[in-house]
Structure 1
Amino acid sequence: MKLFESKYDVIVVGGGHAGSEAAAAAANLGSHTLLITMSLQNIAQMSCNPAMGGIAKGQIVREIDALGGYSGIVTDLTAIQFKMLNKSKGPAMWSPRAQSDRMRFAEEWRMRLEQTDNLDMFQDSVNGLLFEGDQVVGVKTQLGLRIYAKTVIVTAGTFLNGKIHIGEKTFGGGRAGEGASTGITEDLVSKGFEAGRMKTGTPPRVDARSLDFSKMIEQPGDDVTSKFSYTNTKSLTKQRSCYMSYTSPEVHDLLREGFENSPMYTGRIKGIGPRYCPSIEDKIDRFSTKDRHQLFVEPEGWHTTEIYVNGFSTSLPHEVQYKALKKVAGFENVKFLRFGYAIEYDYFPPTQLQLTLETKLVKNLYFAGQINGTTGYEEAAAQGLMAGINAALKVRGDGPFILQRDEAYIGVLIDDLITKGTEEPYRMFTSRAEYRTLLRQDNADLRLTPRSYAIGLASRERMDRVEEKQKKTDLFIKFLKDTSVRPEDVNPILKEKKSAAVNQSMKMFKIASRPQLDFDDIRRFPKVEDFILANKIDREVLEQAEVHVKYSGYIEKEKNSADKLQRLENIKIPVNFDYKKIHSISFEAREKLSKIQPSTISQASRISGVSPSDVSVLLVYMGR
């Protein structure tokens, strides 16, 4: 019996954040797509914290939305709290973050996928890949099905040979309550792929009814909320608060009692854990001089009593977790719903990928998400989106879709992975992006929607919104440049803001660029509010204009730097170039270049171990 008569354009293996975005993107680009997942009930499950966004991650979610992905829309529709982080810093650092209703988030994703044309979904476990020579042609499942496709995207998350650790107890699984996936790693290794092990963890979940929130510090959302999607989703009008508490020396002493039974310290866990999201035992070991650590007490939804104890990720024995957490202020009578645990899983070093996320060893096979050594919903979703786009474009016979480092955080993420690799779970930070003033959360639509529209993913409606936003932004900036304001009209405001008075009429643009003034002050200038109302200029346009006025010098400087980089980006290196014949570059450079096979001189220059003198030799060799 043939359950699947036709050959799919794209098969996506895994229904997490990467798989969901990959399937949606491929299907929306017209590819006949199949999403296979071990549990249809757990599509886009928030396995760890119930939140999207954060430092640099919020920019990624806005970029996904600008490109036509679903993560921003789903987050807006299921959010219970919104915050714009880093508002005290410059706009390059502003990062949106939202707490989500965990159950509604997964439900909304499922509904979105079910309403996506060209997309089939099927529940089964993929336990192998089908190959013909050096290309993938389909998958085989636990039920014994063989399903064929032109391209396959593997987004297996933490499920590949996943192993869960709680104290001395160890059992197979990809997530609490769900089994591990076997067979794929073995098939890939047999084709010559290098595999490794990584570790991540999650904290306990507890019952809100057992906590005393009066002993904690309330963490409300922003008074004026924003949102992730550039579409017409609504901002929050009511929010749920989070809370903060602290560990103590007594808590640390109790946790240390379990170290001798911790899988991290007994050597049972071989994988490397995330540096930037360490377990509580890691924290008290690495930062032994600190007598307390923050714990963020986060509700999992509007109506559930389940609480996520952010900052208490652990794989210590369950009795140690219980004894220690009871000593935290507000947790004296805590009731556990789930204990924290660590999970160890297979990954494939991402230097084995091209910039499209297609593998170098096997044609038409793509990897996205934690299989590439990353951590975080946002990083996974971004990779899934890009893999889905590129798989669909390859089926169509079109060229690749690649974002450069000066175009998007997504471009930085993928370039870092392919060029530098990772030996610990990779997560994005603003500091990783050298052009972060260009890559702000407020302008992701202006940067990326035109590119997505050009390939047919972003809708005409999205493109119209972008064009309208740009038009109104330019119009308002022109108004500020063309309109003068008199001293008697502006000096009272300048005095109030402790900014130097003016003694003659001056263009509004020049005054608006002063750091002491924000655009709420500018709106008090004569004619400004009337112009805003007459031209229906919204807060989003005002924010865009304000950034341009205040930071135009910095923006221009970064654009010039990016243009210089682009010149190196345009110098292509032939596929499978033989670096061993260039004896005037260092041995380390030859070794790294041969392994990674960069596609441009610019990418080669970013490889660890390739020096400026090596790059100069390559430029000469390429006739430059």
Structure 2
Amino acid sequence: MKDFDVLVVGGGHAGVEAAAAAARMGARVGLVTFDLDTIGAMSCNPAIGGLGKGHLVREVDALDGIIARAADAAAIHYRMLNRSKGSAVWGPRVQADRQLFKAAVQAALREQSAITQIAGEAQALEISNGRVTGLMLADGTTLSAQAVILCTGTFLGGTLFRGEERLAGGRIGEQSARRLAEQLRDAALPMARLKTGTPPRLDGRTIDWARLEVQPSDADEWTMSPLTVGRRNPQLACAITRTNNATHDVIRSNLARSPLFSGAIGAQGPRYCPSIEDKVHRFGDRDGHQVFLEPEGLRTAMVYPNGISTSLPADVQLAMLQTMPGLESVEMAVSGYAVEYDHVDPRSLDSGLQMRALRGLYCAGQINGTTGYEEAAAQGLVAGAHAAAAVLGREAPALDRANSYIAVMVDDLTLQGVSEPYRMLTARAEYRLRLRASNASTRLTPVGIAAGLVGEQRQEWFDRRDAQRIVWDTALDRRLTSREVAGARPDAPPRTLREWLTYDGVAQDSLVTHLPEGFISDDVGLELTEDAAYAPYLARQEAELRDLRASETLAIPDGFRFRDVPGLSNEMIERLHAAQPGTLAAAGRVPGITPAALAALLVHTRRAQALA
């Protein structure tokens, strides 16, 4: 019998972050997965980050996780999403070379001497006196541990669907964890099924790129991790095509062959990443949907068509593809498919992602009902850190809704549960103005240092950065008269440099002689400028939240039109309409309704009452 402090089942994004976090905390870790060569593999899209998701990546990185640095090591296309809006909702995203990303993850794990990688199938949990004590592998090997973290992704009871085909598996060409799924169900743990899917892969040599709109990588050289110096790889452009009426006709005429519509798939799929057949069925009046053609690597012709996840038969997929501009002669290298899999009800977990009814068992990633690499990585870090802290008698990192998107997600999952795969959105965070992707290190690295989760290299980097931030922050308190500031009105009163940075009509460049050297081009300078810009809004937001807590008994009238409330997503509108809450407090108990949504509901309800 091999003895560990923590065992991790699964080598995907949740599993590697769980193993690495537990090891950084000082635990002896065993990482069990079917095939060691697939550790860190990108099962679906070859990209990391995005709206809301980029915040999670930066936060995992601030706590010394792997995903951001691996993304930089593999990045072949950088794009900051939502740049036309305020920086609080910017979404850093990179297109990654699949092989380089996997190699970077595996290299990072090899640097952790406390992690032992074990090839095998986790067949059953070892349980004694209501507590998990280890794992039994399919070959009969027994591994003991005080904590086991399940990061099974789509492999737990996974079934693949493509047209009329049905295959057991969690990813094409790989088996599913059937026996472990059966044990969990036999233990009467609260479980259900969810569904996700992936699009076909295209041979880029058969695409007419000249006919397509090109989307180049960002020119300014930002990175996913501040520890990354410069970009590592040549940058490739992506391209955009669209579906059209001919595409939709092909899909509609074959809906009966789709397992999604034939009744073969009964599980709910991700709301924010629906299949193309679901888009066409639900939004039949649309004349087209964008499809982003994303290269999968520097040494492959494979292209990922983002936006057309499908489980239609392979022949229909090819016919559909060849109706789109630039794809008339495209060849399909791999056809798309859907996967249905088991997940646990995350309401059965505590805030450290430990199963309340079975101590020592932790769950992270898609097994908790989420979708996405980034959500999985963040949960893996939480579960790994909490498991190690419990075993070693230490304090886990102190994360809450006011300091991290990670805690927003964990809170949403464990308190509200899921009825569909959960995706992180900036709208879910009531403190999103202070939870910017750009200030993740300032917010969370001290938390990681206090918990022993951050390594020496990052701690030294942070200490240098923090010292610089303190000096520059103090420098912004210097007062300047309007005569010293180009572009200021002559009658403007004296202000601090911090206030002039956000003053209407005053360009940053005109303040350069007053600012510390390098301020404008440095990420610390950007962060301090954003702090100054958001200061009045943060004060207002905190006042609104205080008002919200004092207004929970506010009545919501019968027949209230939730669709008229600005800022509510379609998901929230549907849930509120179905629940018909009578008060603001009742609305807050509806699953999926965020504090930010309640604040919007409060304002709109009061306005409606005033007009009545």
Which interval holds the TM-score relative to the shorter structure?
A: 0.7 to 0.9
| Deviation digits for residues 46-97 of structure 1 (CA, Å, limit 9, x no counterpart) | 1110000000100000000001111111111111111111111112111111
Give the corresponding residue for 2:206: 210
Equivalent pair of 2:397/2:450 in contact (CA under 8 Å): no
Moved more, 410-419 or 442-451: 442-451
Equivalent pair of 1:102/1:300 in contact (CA under 8 Å): yes
Give the corresponding residue for 2:560: none
Give the corresponding residue for 1:523: 509
CA distance in 2, matches of 1:506, 1:8: 59
Give the corresponding residue for 2:528: 545
Segments of 5+ residues of structure 2 without an aligned counterpart are 551-584, 594-612
In the TM superposition, residue 515 of structure 1 has moved relative to its aligned partner by: 4.8
Equivalent pair of 2:520/2:526 in contact (CA under 8 Å): no
Find the residue that maps to 2:529 and give its secondary structure: helix
Find the residue that maps to 1:171 and give its secondary structure: strand
Q: Aligned in 2, Cα 1:515/1:339: closer, same or farther, shift over 3 Å?
A: farther
CA distance in 2, matches of 1:389, 1:18: 12
Is structure 2 residue 25 aligned with structure 1 residue 29? yes
CA distance in 1, matches of 2:484, 2:435: 39
CA distance in 1, matches of 2:429, 2:486: 38
Which of 294, 301, 307 is the matching residue for 1:298? 294
Is structure 2 residue 144 aligned with structure 1 residue 155? no
Q: Aligned in 2, Cα 1:509/1:398: closer, same or farther, shift over 3 Å?
A: closer
| Deviation digits for residues 374-400 of structure 1 (CA, Å, limit 9, x no counterpart) | 000000000001100011001111244
Which of 490, 493, 513 is the matching residue for 2:502? 513
Equivalent pair of 1:201/1:313 in contact (CA under 8 Å): yes
Equivalent pair of 2:221/2:230 in contact (CA under 8 Å): no
CA distance in 2, matches of 1:23, 1:282: 37
Give the corresponding residue for 1:573: none
CA distance in 2, matches of 1:318, 1:352: 39
Is structure 2 residue 118 aligned with structure 1 residue 122? yes
Residue type of the alignment partner of 1:30: G
Is structure 2 residue 326 aligned with structure 1 residue 330? yes
In the TM superposition, residue 370 of structure 1 has moved relative to its aligned partner by: 0.3
Q: Aligned in 2, Cα 1:435/1:403: closer, same or farther, shift over 3 Å?
A: same
Equivalent pair of 1:127/1:141 in contact (CA under 8 Å): yes
The TM-score normalised by the length of structure 1 is: 0.85
Equivalent pair of 2:75/2:233 in contact (CA under 8 Å): no
Give the corresponding residue for 1:275: 271
In the TM superposition, residue 457 of structure 1 has moved relative to its aligned partner by: 1.3
CA distance in 2, matches of 1:501, 1:164: 70
Give the corresponding residue for 2:168: 172
In the TM superposition, residue 474 of structure 1 has moved relative to its aligned partner by: 3.9
Give the corresponding residue for 1:345: 341
The TM-score normalised by the length of structure 2 is: 0.87
Q: Aligned in 2, Cα 1:504/1:606: closer, same or farther, shift over 3 Å?
A: closer
How many residue pairs end up in the alignment? 559
Which of 197, 218, 223 is the matching residue for 2:219? 223
In the TM superposition, residue 339 of structure 1 has moved relative to its aligned partner by: 0.2
Residue type of the alignment partner of 1:214: A
Find the residue that maps to 2:205 and give its secondary structure: helix
Q: Aligned in 2, Cα 1:127/1:503: closer, same or farther, shift over 3 Å?
A: closer
Equivalent pair of 1:487/1:505 in contact (CA under 8 Å): no
Moved more, 420-429 or 187-196: 187-196
Q: Aligned in 2, Cα 1:214/1:280: closer, same or farther, shift over 3 Å?
A: same
Give the corresponding residue for 2:517: 532
In the TM superposition, residue 532 of structure 1 has moved relative to its aligned partner by: 1.2
Give the corresponding residue for 1:107: 103
Residue type of the alignment partner of 1:308: Y
Give the corresponding residue for 1:418: 414
State how 1:271-420 maps to structure 2 within 5 Å.
271-420=267-416
CA distance in 2, matches of 1:159, 1:503: 64
Find the residue that maps to 2:319 and give its secondary structure: helix
Find the residue that maps to 1:27 and give its secondary structure: helix
Equivalent pair of 1:522/1:528 in contact (CA under 8 Å): no
Equivalent pair of 1:77/1:233 in contact (CA under 8 Å): no
Find the residue that maps to 1:274 and give its secondary structure: coil
CA distance in 2, matches of 1:349, 1:402: 24
Equivalent pair of 1:19/1:155 in contact (CA under 8 Å): yes
In the TM superposition, residue 338 of structure 1 has moved relative to its aligned partner by: 0.3
Q: Aligned in 2, Cα 1:562/1:235: closer, same or farther, shift over 3 Å?
A: farther
* RMSD over aligned Cα atoms: 2.4
Equivalent pair of 1:489/1:526 in contact (CA under 8 Å): no
Between the aligned residues of both structures, percent identity stands at 38
CA distance in 1, matches of 2:534, 2:299: 43
Give the corresponding residue for 2:131: 135
